[in-house]
Structure 1
Amino acid sequence: MENVDYIIIGDGYAGLFFAHQLIKNNKSFVVYSEGKKSASQVSAGIINPVVLKKFTTFWKAQEQIDFLISSLKEIEAYTGENYFIEEPIHRIFHDENEQKLWLKKSQNDELINFLDKKFTHLNTVKNDFDSGKVNQSARLNVSGFFMGLFAFLESKKQLIKDKFDYSKINTTNSTYKNFKFKNILFCEGMGVKNNPYFSDIPVIPNKGHHIKVKLSEPLSENITIKKKHFLFPTNGGLYFYGGTYDREQLHSHIDDSAVEQLVKGLSEFYPYDFEVNEVNFGFRPTVKDRRPIIGRHPEHENLYVFNGLGARGILNGCYFSKSLYDFIEENIPLHEEVSLDRFKEK
């Protein structure tokens, strides 16, 4: 029987950022990975402090950005790579009213550090009303991040490529197969619906598609462009464009309507030919109040959940991994806005 401080189930942003907290604090652990591409692994990797529909920000945006940058530097120390890509978002304006709204909002205390007051005219794409730059926005090298962390965990024999079997947990003795554990953390995204301990948490699947395209005229700037969706350069001379949001079509195959929506959206501002080389989709675990769900099982004191990261998986996963670690190890209460306990009465 091998003793471990933690068993982590799930290999998306929640699981890996929590694993980083354990690495920092010299805790022993294993991560169970089914080897399927999670929603995290097909995500755009956008790091963005601004809601670009309404030009607003969100709860703890600055703290989350700062914490992510310092965490990625810590991760670089043991993987040897920095996965932070400094390619800011440029939001194409639809009309003059959006320009005026952007300038008005840029005076707000909570947005002054994020909305650049100087507009930019972009080459290659249609932007008759110019674009606004989001300061402190960037991207995560998603494929690099997962490859690098998986390789590191494998080298330490901390990655177990196997489907987790709930029936093998012995909650009385705190054992699972050949492990004796102090804590188990479930970070399964929509997979939580099959989890007998936390299947009732109110996560709602939100299906997102993106396409990878070959542009006949490459973009002249290394930036992320946003109109309806995000466009940015990726590996192999291709560009990522996406992603969609769909709470209705939840079957496990590609929706042609989503692909059409993306092709149409890109055609609206990219005036040259392009070809679609690849289509991907995933199911984001979202929550009505747009807050993660973090907490301890009401009966089994060493079973925990970390879920509901939604469309901001990178920022939420990174920032709240420390809140969860401090809750388990230091008994520091979770913020009521993210705590599992907020659903108790409901």
Structure 2
Amino acid sequence: MENVDYIIVGDGYAALFFAHQLIKNEKSFVIFSEGRKSASQVSAGIINPVVLKKFTTFWKAQEQIDHLKTTLDEIEVYTGKNYLIDAPIHRIFHDENEQHLWLKKSENEDLKEFLSKEFRKLDIIKNDFGSGKVDQSARLDVAGFFNDLFRHFEDHSKWVREKFNYALLNVSGSSYKNFTFKNIIFCEGMGVKENPFFSDIQVNPNKGHHIKLRLSKAIPDDITIKKKHFLFPVNNDLHFYGGTYDREQLHHHIDDSAVEQLVNGLSGFYPYDFEIGEVNFGFRPTVKDRRPIIGKHPDYSCLHVFNGLGARGILNGCYFSKSLYDCIENNIPLPEEVSLTRFK
């Protein structure tokens, strides 16, 4: 038997950012992942402290932004790369009223560090009323982040590339197959519904589609454009555009209506020809109060859940991985706002 401090089950932002906490604190672990493309791995990677529909912010936005930058610097030490892409969001204004609202909101104490008062007229695309820049916004190199971290796990014999089998878990004996452990962290996204220990937690699927496309006329590559959805370059001359939100059509195949929505959305501000290269979708685990669900099992103190990151998976996953680690290792209580117990 191999003894480890932690077993992590999952392959998204929650799993990888928690794994970083263990690396940072020199804890032993293995991560169980089939190597599939999770919702996190097909996400846009947007790092954004502003709700761009209403020009508002959210709980702990500045703390989460600051913590993410520190964490990515720490990860760079052992992967050799920093995955932060300095391409701030520029929100296209629909009309003059949005310009005025943006300026008014930029005076608010909680928004003044995020909403730039300098507007920009973007080249190539339709933006008659210009765009507003979101300060401190950026993107994550999603493919590089997941590829490099899983390679690091594999190189250090920390990755078990298989599906976790709940039937083989001996909780009372703190063992699973050929491992003994102190704690297990389940970071399974919507896969948690198959988990007999946490299947009742209140996460709901939100299906998101995005398209990767070839543009006939290039857009500025130092920004992330946002109108209804996000548009930015990725690689191999492809651009990302998405993603949609759907709580109703939850089948596991591409929804043509979602693709049509994206094509219409892009055509509304990009007046040139484009060609769709690929279509992807994933299921975001969302919670009604839009905050993660974190905590230990009521009967088995060695089992923990880290879920419900929603559309802010990068910020939530990074920031609250430390909260969960501190709760387990240092007996620091979780914030009630994200605790599993808040729904009991």
TM-score category (smaller protein): over 0.9
TM-score, L = length of structure 2: 1.00
2: CA distance, partners of 1:220 / 1:191: 38
- In the alignment, what sits opposite 1:264? 264
**1:271-299 CA distances to partner (integer Å, 9 max, x unpaired)?**
00000000000000000000100000000
Deviation of the 1:36 alpha carbon? 1.3
CA contact (8 A) 1:114 1:134 kept: yes
The alignment partner of 2:87 has SS state of coil
Deviation of the 1:221 alpha carbon? 4.1
The alignment partner of 1:337 has SS state of coil
2: CA distance, partners of 1:195 / 1:53: 35
2: CA distance, partners of 1:131 / 1:220: 13
- In the alignment, what sits opposite 2:227? 227
**1:175-205 CA distances to partner (integer Å, 9 max, x unpaired)?**
0000000000100000000000000000000
1: CA distance, partners of 2:160 / 2:343: 32
- In the alignment, what sits opposite 1:18? 18
- In the alignment, what sits opposite 1:54? 54
- In the alignment, what sits opposite 1:302? 302
- In the alignment, what sits opposite 2:185? 185
- In the alignment, what sits opposite 2:342? 342
- In the alignment, what sits opposite 2:247? 247
Determine if the alignment matches structure 1 residue 284 to structure 2 residue 272: no
Deviation of the 1:222 alpha carbon? 1.8
Deviation of the 1:343 alpha carbon? 1.2
2: CA distance, partners of 1:105 / 1:172: 54
Runs of 5+ unmatched residues, structure 1: none
CA contact (8 A) 2:241 2:262 kept: yes
Determine if the alignment matches structure 1 residue 73 to structure 2 residue 73: yes
- In the alignment, what sits opposite 2:126? 126
- In the alignment, what sits opposite 2:36? 36
**1:42-95 CA distances to partner (integer Å, 9 max, x unpaired)?**
000000000000000000000000000000000000000110000000000000
- In the alignment, what sits opposite 2:150? 150
Query: Which amino acid in structure 1 is aligned with residue 301 of structure 2?
Result: E
- In the alignment, what sits opposite 1:313? 313
- Taking only the aligned residue pairs, the percentage that are identical comes to 75
Query: Which amino acid in structure 1 is aligned with residue 56 of structure 2?
Result: T
The alignment partner of 2:268 has SS state of helix
Deviation of the 1:220 alpha carbon? 3.1
The alignment partner of 1:319 has SS state of helix
The alignment partner of 2:288 has SS state of coil
Q: How does 1:75-154 map to 2 (within 5 A)?
A: 75-154=75-154
1: CA distance, partners of 2:205 / 2:35: 20
**1:87-129 CA distances to partner (integer Å, 9 max, x unpaired)?**
0000000000000000000000000000000100000000000
Q: 1:301 to 1:220 in 2, by over 3 A?
A: closer
**1:301-343 CA distances to partner (integer Å, 9 max, x unpaired)?**
1000000000000000000000000000000000000000101
**1:110-169 CA distances to partner (integer Å, 9 max, x unpaired)?**
000000001000000000000000000000000000001001000000011001000111
The alignment partner of 2:102 has SS state of helix
The alignment partner of 2:103 has SS state of helix
The alignment partner of 1:236 has SS state of coil
CA contact (8 A) 2:86 2:222 kept: no
The alignment partner of 1:146 has SS state of helix
Deviation of the 1:34 alpha carbon? 1.4
C-alpha RMSD over aligned residues: 0.5
Q: How does 1:192-231 map to 2 (within 5 A)?
A: 192-231=192-231
The alignment partner of 1:69 has SS state of helix
**1:242-263 CA distances to partner (integer Å, 9 max, x unpaired)?**
0000000000000000000000
Runs of 5+ unmatched residues, structure 2: none
- In the alignment, what sits opposite 2:238? 238
The alignment partner of 2:99 has SS state of helix
1: CA distance, partners of 2:248 / 2:220: 37
The alignment partner of 1:213 has SS state of strand
Deviation of the 1:11 alpha carbon? 1.1
Query: Which amino acid in structure 2 is aligned with residue 199 of structure 1?
Result: S
CA contact (8 A) 1:222 1:233 kept: no
1: CA distance, partners of 2:323 / 2:220: 41
2: CA distance, partners of 1:213 / 1:139: 18
TM-score, L = length of structure 1: 0.99
Query: Which amino acid in structure 2 is aligned with residue 10 of structure 1?
Result: G
The alignment partner of 1:237 has SS state of coil
Deviation beyond 3 Å, 4+ runs, structure 1: none
